[in-house]
Structure 1
Amino acid sequence: MLAGDHTGWGRPHAKTLKDRSFVHQPNLVEGNKPIVLGHDYSTLGWVPEMSGSWAIPLCHERISSFETAAQRAAFQLRQVCRDLSVRPIATYDSEYGSAAFMNLTEDIPADLLLRLRPNRCLYKAPEPYSGSGRPRKHGDKFQLANADSWGDSSATFSLEDETVGQVQIQQWSDLHFKKASQRHFQVIRVTHPHCSGLWLAWVGEQMPTLEQIWRLYLRRFAIDHWNRFAKQRLHWTLPQLLTPQQALRWSDLMPLLSWQLWLARQLVIDTPLPWQKPQTNLTFGRVAQGFAALLVRIGSPACSPKPRGKSLGWKSGRKRDPYPRFPIIKNALLVPKRSTKTSLIPNPKYSPFHSLGFAQFSILWVTFPALF
């Protein structure tokens, strides 16, 4: 099972950092927009367990300013699926539940479990062809916010969960987006007393049962735990690096550190702090907390640092050139402009001689009387 998401690395004061754009970041000040200047990174991780917070990143790459998060996520999923011998299940948040992501992943051998925003408008399958005119691509509208447009569900299931209580699950079949009419999928609605409704879309071959599919999507939140762990414990966003290449090389260390912690989870002894409870299944943080004792036992392959003496410093008289400043990249929706081409049909109310003065008009009238 795979889980994908993207997160921002805020660099609001780095004027010399190239390719900065507006990325999402929660803002503590009420009323302000949750954005910041910086770089956006897309992560695709492997969720090895059906419980717990472990998610091992397979791809962790920067999203450039000339591509979207959906394009980078589709590229990562295509790369990972080439090396897999089984068909994976990839889960994504509501930002990827769109027609654009559906079209980008059409040729990827993977099943998708996507979350849908509650204001989406889908379309049912069209009626059979009547024999005249162009065949219809879309049927009736299926608005997630309008219960009158849903119709009867194709399957219903209810269960009693120990954590959330009574859970009601409904399924509708053969729906599609307007701009991705070739990809039909199943829509699942999950409700319980503390949630107004969770909308999911299954795109793939053999769909799991309704009892299993909503629990599969809950495993997607493991990638959010890893993003928080990388920022808070691995100090991923702490360095103030100068170039995007340096930031990318530093970011490549985060998956390597995560894999080391995952492989060492059975070798590390739990060393809880005085206010922490002992754990049987160690998390990312608890393995990192006891990793120092493991390093003492196995040692380090690195050589001892050698003294190099004092640096010569900046040469006297050498000019200090300021580092170039780069503009902020703002991606906006491009609205097509109106055509400025002149018409080839002459306007009878306008003559090219209207712009001439009396003297120029008199000279032309005497010299070229045939024109008039």
Structure 2
Amino acid sequence: MSLLHHDAQREPFAVASHFRDDFYACLTARRDELFELADALLCADGPVRTPVDLTLLGEHRRGHGALYGALNRGRIDTGRLRRTLAALPQPEAADGRLVLAVDVSNWLRPDAECSADRLFCHTYGRSKDQHLMIPGWPYSFVAALESGRTSWCQLLDAVRLGPTDDVAEVTAVQVRRVVQDLIAGGRWHRGDADILIVFDAGYDAPRMAHLLHGLPVEVLGRLRSDRVMRKPVPVPWISPPQGGRPPKHGKEFRFAKPESWGEPDTATTQVTARYGTAQTMAWDRIHPRLTTRSAWIGHDGELPILEGTLIRLQVDHLPGGGDPLPVWLWSSKTG
């Protein structure tokens, strides 16, 4: 049941009850049946194989016809639902800041030949280093994370990617909308720490930082171990005798060649229970050298210099006994 008045806002039951009331308001057509379907889906003992199985649960009080009518003709105000989710109390990191993770998850549909806009989705096979491409629908998810070893997260948005979509641009629009909803919902205020946005190696972290410029966010992304980036130009710069335009980039920073790294600006060592000794090195103002190719082929004007902090993490061993390869991270925050 749901509360009809807004009392005791801080109590968990009251928050859940008010969310149910707000969720019901997001249903614009066949709302009663859709609301019961959501209850039945949440109360099912195991995985739901077919929608008709939900009609056998006690939470579903209508017949088969109402179920199929709601699935065919029901409507949800997705914009209002996004704002409702963003206004809920959000999980936070240990330092109190908001942390959002962005990733793509595939809904595999190999036998649904009549489903529109299917793409070949990258999946891992059962054998080691086996990669399969299976038709399906890729979805981009944004979730709020909390500190600690937990699998719980709070989903805030989901967007299906189409065949002609630029994943980075679609994701940037999605993240920008989520951040703006969090600000409008009172979950971030001026003076709070920047919202940390975490990306995997499938995203170009410097480009995502450029696309999200103007928002109170810090982009943190994982980089491939074969990347080549650039150091800042030394200050003060001594102009050569022949003169000319001052350079924009310093020397190369090759991830695979330690002799090109130089001394790190920061280095730490921490003993952990699961990974042994963890060593971290960080270099400030490391940036990629952009060219008018690939994602930047349509860029107007001078290419930007996207400086950030490059981080290398190395541990002694992994809990599963695998080879502990170094992890390279790039943060849009400098200094």
Q: Distance in 2 between matches of 1:27 and 1:6?
A: 17
- Aligned twin of 2:311: 188
Contact persistence 1:169–1:191 (CA under 8 A): yes
**Residue 217 of structure 2: aligned partner:** 110
Residue 2 of structure 1 is matched in structure 2 by 100
In structure 2, how many angstroms separate the alpha carbons of the residues matched to 1:173 and 1:181?
Answer: 17
CA contact (8 A) 1:97 1:117 kept: no
CA change 1:102–1:184 in 2 (3 A) is: same
TM, length-normalised to structure 1: 0.51
**Within 2, Cα distance between the matches of 1:9 and 1:96?**
20
Equivalents in 2 of 1:122, 1:136: separation in Å?
15
Secondary structure of the structure 1 residue equivalent to 2:124: coil
Equivalent residue for 1:146, pick from 241, 257, 263: 257
SS at match of 1:182: coil
CA distance, structure 2, for counterparts of residue 23 and residue 107 of structure 1? 32
Give the AA of the match of 1:150: W
CA distance in 1, matches of 2:203, 2:309: 16
CA contact (8 A) 2:229 2:254 kept: yes
Q: Alpha-carbon deviation of 1:138? A: 1.4
Structure 2, unpaired ranges of 5+? 1-98, 291-302, 318-323
In structure 2, distance between residues paired with 1:48 and 1:98: 21
Change (3 A) 1:79 1:129: farther
How far does residue 14 in structure 1 lie from its aligned partner after superposition?
Answer: 1.9
Q: For residues 244-302 of structure 1, give each alpha carbon's deviation from its aligned partner in whole angstroms, at most 9, with x where no partner exists.
A: xxxxxxxxxxxxxxxxxxxxxxxxxxxxxxxxxxxxxxxxxxxxxxxxxxxxxxxxxxx
TM-score when normalising by structure 2? 0.57
Report the alpha carbon displacement of residue 200 of structure 1 after superposing the two structures with TM.
Answer: 1.0
Q: CA deviation at 1:10?
A: 1.4
Deviations 1:193-228 (CA, angstroms, capped at 9, x unpaired): 12231111111368xxxxxxxxxxxxxxxxxxxxxx
d(CA) in 1 for partners of 2:238, 2:104: 42
Instruction: Identify unmatched segments of 5+ residues in structure 1.
Output: 207-372
- What is the identity, as a one-letter code, of the residue corresponding to 1:184? E
Residue of 266, 284, 298 corresponding to 1:155: 266
- Indicate if the aligned counterparts of 2:285 and 2:334 stay in contact, CA closer than 8 A: no
Other-structure match for 1:214: none
Q: Deviations over 1:169-193 (max 9, x none)?
A: 1111111011275221001111111
Whole-angstrom CA distance in 1 between matches of 2:231 and 2:334: 19
Alignment correspondent of 1:92: 199
Inter-partner Cα distance in structure 2 for 1:45 and 1:136: 40
Distance 1:49 1:147, change over 3 A: closer
Bigger-Rg structure (1/2): 1
Matches within 5 A, 1:65-76: 65-76=163-174
Question: Which letter does structure 2 place at the counterpart of 1:130?
Answer: S
The residue number in structure 1 matching 2:208 is 101
Q: Distance in 2 between matches of 1:103 and 1:17?
A: 35
Query: Any conservation in 2 of the 1:169–1:189 contact (CA below 8 Å)?
Result: yes
Does the Cα contact within 8 Å between 1:155 and 1:170 map onto a contact in 2? yes
Cα 1:173/1:94, change in 2 over 3 Å: same
| Alignment correspondent of 1:82 | 180
Whether contact under 8 Å (2:309, 2:334) holds in the other structure is no
Match of 2:133 among 35, 55, 59: 35
Q: Letter of the 2:263 partner, please give it.
A: D
Could you say which residue in structure 2 is the equivalent of 1:324?
Answer: none
Q: Which residue of 2 aligns with 1:24?
A: 122
C-alpha contact 1:137 1:181 (8 A) present in aligned 2 = no
What's the secondary structure of 1:25's corresponding residue? strand
State the distance in 2 between where 1:29 and 1:198 align: 24
Does structure 1 residue 52 correspond to structure 2 residue 181?
no
Task: Give the match for residue 333 of structure 2.
Answer: 204
Judged with a 3 Å threshold, the aligned counterparts in structure 2 of structure 1 residues 151 and 30 are, in CA distance, closer, same or farther, namely closer
- After TM superposition, which residue ranges in structure 1, 4 or more long, deviate above 6 angstroms? none
1:49–1:188 Cα change, 3 Å: closer
- Per the TM alignment, residue 141 of structure 1 is displaced from its structure 2 partner at its CA by 0.7
1:71 corresponds to which letter in structure 2? E
* 1:45-103 deviations in Å (ceiling 9; x for gaps): 01134442211110111011111332222112101111322431111111124443333
Conserved 8 A contact 2:205-2:219: no
Q: How much identity, in percent, do the aligned residues show? A: 27
Instruction: Give the whole-Å Cα distance in 2 for the aligned partners of 1:118 and 1:149.
Output: 14
Question: Which position in structure 2 is the counterpart of 1:303?
Answer: none
CA separation in 1, counterparts of 2:133 and 2:307? 34
How many residue pairs align between the two structures? Answer: 206
The answer as to whether partners of 1:158 and 1:166 remain within 8 angstroms in 2 is yes
| SS of aligned partner of 1:101 | helix
Pick from 101, 107, 111 the counterpart of residue 13 of structure 1. Answer: 111
Quick check: 1:27–1:35 contact (8 Å CA) kept in 2? no
Alignment match, 1:130:
239
The whole-number CA distance in structure 2 between the counterparts of 1:4 and 1:119 is 23
Structure 1 residues 129, 110: CA separation in 2 closer, same or farther (over 3 Å shift)? farther
| Greater relative contact order (CA < 8 Å, ≥ 6 in sequence) | 1
